[in-house]
């Protein structure tokens, strides 16, 4: 079933859109089935969980970090991940920069936008994104590659549209500035229920979990 779900999604997605299999709580076997279906990027929310799966699956695929990164997990994260999608503070960026330098690596990152302006959510507020990005662009061992947003949890995919639209606008504004060290390549928006709307609004990375693996047990 998982393999077929991936195949169906890959057929549906436009050629410029990359699919990230959001794999939180899934077993290595389930992730392997998704890879058989054609998954080339796995998204993980927890470093510890990623480490366990990474040991078995390794570098056959790319790894994106899509959860909230705690500073004490950065050291492991820079070893495993090819893209950290959820950078949202100067402090975290400084830590990633330092530990990446030690690994002789430049860490690609996306800046997470709190497009719903929700107090309890992570991400930088839309109006603060540019200031943060300018600060981060001075760090030599991280490379800003675009933006990511979750948007408020909504039942109706259509309700997510304004948040995706606003994030795309920020993306375009920043890209137009042509800042040195920035390469605005990825706009990561949309999950199982909202990816079609997200793609219409300009997403080129979509993070899909339940539509690939089935509903999660505990949410």
Name the residue number minimizing CB distance to ligand PLP: 209
Q: Which is nearer to ligand PLP, 20 or 144 (CB)?
A: 20
The C-alpha angle with vertex 85 and arms to 46 and 137, in degrees rounded to 5, equals 130
For residue 207, state whether it binds ligand PLP (rule: CB under 6 A): yes
Q: Does 198 bind ligand PLP (CB under 6 A)?
A: no
CB 209 within 8 A of CB 216: yes
The answer to the question of residue 25 lying near ligand PLP (CB under 6 A) is no
- Identify the residue among 144, 191, 197, 205 touching ligand PLP (CB under 6 A): 191
- The secondary structure of residue 183, as a DSSP letter, is -
The residues facing 143 across adjacent strands are 108
DSSP letter for each residue of 131-171: HHHHHHTT-TTEEEEEEEE-----SSGGGGHHHHHHHHHHH
Is the Cβ of residue 68 or residue 179 nearer to ligand PLP in the bound state? 68
CB of 177 to ligand PLP, least distance (A): 27
Tell me which residues touch ligand PLP (CB under 6 A). Answer: 22, 24, 45, 66, 150, 191-192, 207-211
């Amino acid at each position: 079933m998982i393999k077929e779900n991936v195949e169906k999604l890959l057929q549906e997605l436009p050629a410029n859109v990359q699919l990230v299999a959001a794999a939180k709580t899934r077993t290595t076997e389930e992730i392997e089935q998704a890879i058989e279906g054609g998954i080339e990027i796995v998204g993980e929310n927890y470093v510890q969980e990623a480490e366990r799966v990474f040991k078995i699956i390794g570098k056959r695929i790319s790894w994106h970090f899509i959860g909230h990164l705690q500073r004490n997990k950065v050291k492991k994260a820079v070893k495993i991940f090819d893209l950290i999608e959820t950078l949202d503070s100067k402090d975290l960026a400084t830590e990633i920069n330092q530990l990446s330098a030690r690994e002789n690596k430049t860490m690609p990152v996306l800046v997470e936008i709190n497009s719903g302006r929700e107090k309890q959510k992570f991400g930088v507020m839309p109006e603060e994104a540019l200031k943060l990005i300018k600060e981060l662009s001075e760090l030599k061992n991280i490379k800003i590659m675009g933006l990511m947003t979750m948007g408020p949890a909504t039942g109706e995919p259509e309700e997510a549209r304004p948040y995706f639209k606003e994030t795309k606008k920020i993306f375009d504004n920043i890209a137009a500035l042509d800042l040195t060290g920035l390469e605005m390549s990825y706009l990561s928006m949309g999950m199982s229920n909202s990816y079609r709307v997200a793609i219409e609004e300009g997403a080129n990375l979509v993070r899909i979990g339940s539509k690939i693996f089935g509903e999660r047990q505990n949410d």
